[in-house]
Structure 1
Amino acid sequence: MLTRRIFLGTGMAAGAFLTAPTVWGQAKPKVVVIGGGAGGATAARYLAKDSDGALEVTLVEANPIYTTCFFSNLYLGGFYDFENLQHGYDKLAGGGVTVINDMATAVDRAARTVTLAGGTVLPYDRLVLSPGIDFKDGSVPGWSADTHAEIMPHAYKAGPQTQLLKAQIEAMPQGGTFAMVAPPNPYRCPPGPYERISMVAHVLKEKNPTAKILVLDPKDKYSKQALFEEGWQRHYGTMVEWVGPDFGGNAVEVRPDTMEVVIDGDVTKVDVCNVIPGQMAGKIAAIAGVTDDSGWAPVDPASMKSKMDENTWVLGDSSAQGDMPKSGFSANSQAKVAAMAIRGELTGSKTFPAKYSNTCWSLIAPEDGVKVGASYEPTPEKIASVESFISATGEDAALRKATYEESLGWYAGITADMFG
């Protein structure tokens, strides 16, 4: 079982002998990290901790309290309190990181400066971008994040949107219809939409057992599909209906004002609609000029350094790196590689060949947990999967319970690793 101690111990052991000697008599090299999630917070913490004060590390994050998107589905299902998803930066600041709660609005790569919304200009020697995702305008006809997210929430950036969606689910009329517009590839947390469907089904089974769930999906397959479909049938009967592209899942329009979805021309009235639109790298990555036509930021597989700029690293969801999914575990793993590479460049500390890992857990029903994961290594072309695993259909209840409990240990471990 993956415990908090084992998870933290792995990260600490990797960094324990990488500490750089303090450089006296000269200005410390400056590293600015934009984005305080799994990638950015981890990178900032390890840069400060393992450089032993040799680097001046500044973290820029707009929100003083960070709400994790991972595990937010368990809040929707009633298995996790919202407050447990929220984390502050006090311990990170106490560990030598300067935390600035502001929005980065501009990057001058030639001058090596970051400008904040409040007017502050931060110089840097190295820049780390880990801004998560933004949404592609027009990816779901009829829906705009600016105009319609309070009617048809996305809840794919955790916080008030997550609370809004939970309230809407719990207020559904008896026998009502919940619809999800699932996103096209690539997107944050591949199993995430389908774990969310499981959690919604769990709530409705208890409170609204005649309700229906429609999953409107532009993809012909999705992560852990056999596991989810087996679980939906076992726990929720015919409540969940998945509509793939062969039946109009790729031709969906929404009408927020009338609470309707149009599926390949057919109009369906719904009571709640969760729209998860197409995604791209967080806006500041495009502003910095490190994204390509895909909307994501290509990076060097061996270090996570941007292919567009030798002084910039891009982590987590925003990066285009190869086989790793866009997940909190991935971002945390990538951040440690990036921190090691940056320390090596700025302080001369020893570096080691990059290795990456990821696991994604999903809860289908009470104590019915499944997982998928892999280990990865860099190749000249991409970060490539070298060994993978996935839960099997038909597993016994004891194994599924142990998998769920393992996920709880991982959450405690990764949040401690991120925030201190």
Structure 2
Amino acid sequence: MQLNRRLFMGGAAAGAAAASLAAPMAHASNHGKPKVVVIGGGAGGATAARYIAKDSKGEIDVTLVEPTRSYYTCFFSNLYLAGFRKLSSIAHSYGKLASDFGVNVVHDWAVGIDRAARTVTLAGGATLPYDRLILSPGIDFVDGTVEGWDVTQQNKMPHAYKAGSQSELLKAQIEAMPEGGTFAMVAPPNPFRCPPGPYERISMVAHILKAKNPTAKIIIADPKDKFSKMALFQEGWGDLYSGMIDWIGSDFGGGNVSVNPDEMALTIDGEKTKVDVCNVIPAMKAGRICEIAGITDGNWAPVNPHTMQSRVDENIHVLGDASQQGDMPKSGFAANSQAKVAAMAVRAALTGSKLFPAKFTNTCWSLIDTDNGVKVGASYEATDEKIAKVDGFISQTGEDSELRKATYEESIGWYAGITADMFG
């Protein structure tokens, strides 16, 4: 099915059956409209803010807190690395959320949450009261998971797993590689944002090196023994980039890795190799604000799958990468799907609107080469224990070029649809 803006935006409540009418709660401020604060303006937060504001028809005050004025999507950022997209094409502003939907967009950092008082403190000194709080801060990195690397080294060995300036830096480093040079990636352990992402990135790096630096080599040090779409990627690498890519999984020491940014060196299972570019993607955890709020299990924030409410605090909902929810991957599509469920639950709690059973969907597309797209996806439902996978699909090895091209074109339609759904 070709995904477009109309179909994507119309899917918010598709297939849901009517449930009971929820009674609105008392407001924290005891007067005026109920207040919702959303922290994080990505696929989860922007979508939730927009849907709550749009569907409540002015009955709820919605504030979105996001430090950046231009949001760069991590999805499709790999295509920028290979020259299939311009950086400007993955950059989005929040103007329409404010002008068309009445969302109060605040460009600042959230630095404190008082759950008892139900307030958010901003770096600029302001305090925002809330009746419901939605956290969608994305990911941060777990310190010490790659020996020799921390975020202070990200300019020498970029992660580029938060798009924008890191993406520009990694692209510049790739293009400056000497003839016959070596690109290395330290892949992350599970769970992490966008399971196919590192391997699509390898494909995109191989694509540009094949054209501009065909004798260059790529090394992947991977702590896992398998990865998302493994057969599809390895088929593509063998057919298109033969002899260029060396994947070193856990059986061959891929998890026993250290780096030396000053020497531009990578050591795998005791064997040291000089490299020209090293893309370090460390282990991940929920964005810092979840830790500040005290709602994590150490790395992630457990949620009630029916509403995306925190298991620790029912007045807080957690979306996307930061949540510990069950079977869904950490992806932009997943965050957007979860945001619609949370938005419906928030409106039901605050205005008494109908609450429908939670349904979720996800698809992750990846590009292996020009017009060579593959995908994996599933549908999900909420159980008391977790978001549970109902059924799924995946591209097959050996598909013809027309099908692969159609899959890539489908991803282009999806990108247009989801970004319109997020930002209006």
Q: Distance in 2 between matches of 1:165 and 1:393?
A: 30
Q: CA deviation at 1:247?
A: 1.1
Amino acid at match of 2:121: T
Superposed, 1:107-186 pairs within 5 Å as: 107-145=113-151, 147-186=152-191
Amino acid at match of 1:206: A
Q: Distance in 2 between matches of 1:380 and 1:123?
A: 30
- 1:29 corresponds, among 27, 34, 41, to 34
Superposed, 1:272-311 pairs within 5 Å as: 272-293=277-298, 295-311=299-315
Could you say what secondary structure the match of 2:304 adopts?
coil
Query: 2:378 — aligned with what?
Result: 374
Could you say what secondary structure the match of 1:299 adopts?
strand
Query: 2:329 — aligned with what?
Result: 325
Superposed, 1:375-390 pairs within 5 Å as: 375-390=379-394
Amino acid at match of 1:193: P
Amino acid at match of 2:108: D
Q: CA deviation at 1:5?
A: 2.4
Q: CA deviation at 1:9?
A: 2.5
- 1:206 corresponds, among 187, 211, 217, to 211
Q: Distance in 2 between matches of 1:126 and 1:12?
A: 21
Q: Distance in 2 between matches of 1:88 and 1:211?
A: 37
**Does 1:259 find its partner at 2:264?**
yes
Q: CA deviation at 1:13?
A: 6.5
**Does 1:104 find its partner at 2:103?**
no
- Aligned Cα root-mean-square deviation (Å): 1.9
Q: CA deviation at 1:26?
A: 5.1
Change in CA separation of 1:166 and 1:362 when aligned onto 2, cut-off 3 Å: same
Q: Distance in 1 between matches of 2:215 and 2:86?
A: 26
Q: Distance in 2 between matches of 1:105 and 1:394?
A: 50
Query: 2:402 — aligned with what?
Result: 398
Amino acid at match of 1:167: A
Could you say what secondary structure the match of 2:389 adopts?
strand
Amino acid at match of 1:115: T
Query: 2:275 — aligned with what?
Result: 270
Whether the 8 Å CA contact 2:5–2:421 is kept in 1: the answer is no
Note the alpha carbon deviations across 1:65-122, whole angstroms, 9 max, x for none: 1010110000001101100110000000011100000000000000000000000000
Q: Distance in 2 between matches of 1:371 and 1:238?
A: 25
Amino acid at match of 1:341: A
**Does 1:356 find its partner at 2:360?**
yes
**Does 1:416 find its partner at 2:420?**
yes
**Does 1:221 find its partner at 2:226?**
yes
Query: 2:92 — aligned with what?
Result: 87
Query: 2:4 — aligned with what?
Result: 3
Amino acid at match of 1:166: K
- The number of residues matched between the two structures is 416
Amino acid at match of 1:260: A
Q: Distance in 1 between matches of 2:197 and 2:85?
A: 16
Whether the 8 Å CA contact 2:223–2:249 is kept in 1: the answer is yes
Amino acid at match of 1:325: P
Could you say what secondary structure the match of 2:134 adopts?
strand
Q: Distance in 2 between matches of 1:26 and 1:256?
A: 56
Amino acid at match of 1:2: L
Q: Distance in 1 between matches of 2:3 and 2:115?
A: 41
Q: Percent identity?
A: 69
Could you say what secondary structure the match of 2:334 adopts?
helix
Q: Distance in 1 between matches of 2:384 and 2:313?
A: 18
- 2:59 corresponds, among 54, 63, 66, to 54
Amino acid at match of 1:42: T
Superposed, 1:8-19 pairs within 5 Å as: 8-11=9-12
Q: CA deviation at 1:4?
A: 2.4
Q: CA deviation at 1:165?
A: 0.1
Q: Distance in 2 between matches of 1:12 and 1:188?
A: 25
Q: Distance in 2 between matches of 1:406 and 1:11?
A: 19
Amino acid at match of 1:134: D
Could you say what secondary structure the match of 1:45 adopts?
helix
Q: CA deviation at 1:237?
A: 0.7
Query: 1:243 — aligned with what?
Result: 248
Q: CA deviation at 1:11?
A: 3.0
Query: Under a length normalisation based on structure 1, what TM-score does the superposition of the two structures give?
Result: 0.97
Q: CA deviation at 1:411?
A: 0.3
Query: 1:232 — aligned with what?
Result: 237
> Unpaired runs of 5+ in structure 2?
none
Query: 1:314 — aligned with what?
Result: 318
Q: Distance in 2 between matches of 1:124 and 1:193?
A: 37
Q: CA deviation at 1:10?
A: 2.1
**Does 1:65 find its partner at 2:48?**
no
Query: Under a length normalisation based on structure 2, what TM-score does the superposition of the two structures give?
Result: 0.96
Could you say what secondary structure the match of 2:58 adopts?
coil
Q: CA deviation at 1:154?
A: 0.3
Q: Write out the 4+ residue segments of structure 1 that deviate beyond 4 Å after TM superposition.
A: 12-15, 17-20
Note the alpha carbon deviations across 1:398-417, whole angstroms, 9 max, x for none: 00000000000000000000
> Unpaired runs of 5+ in structure 1?
none
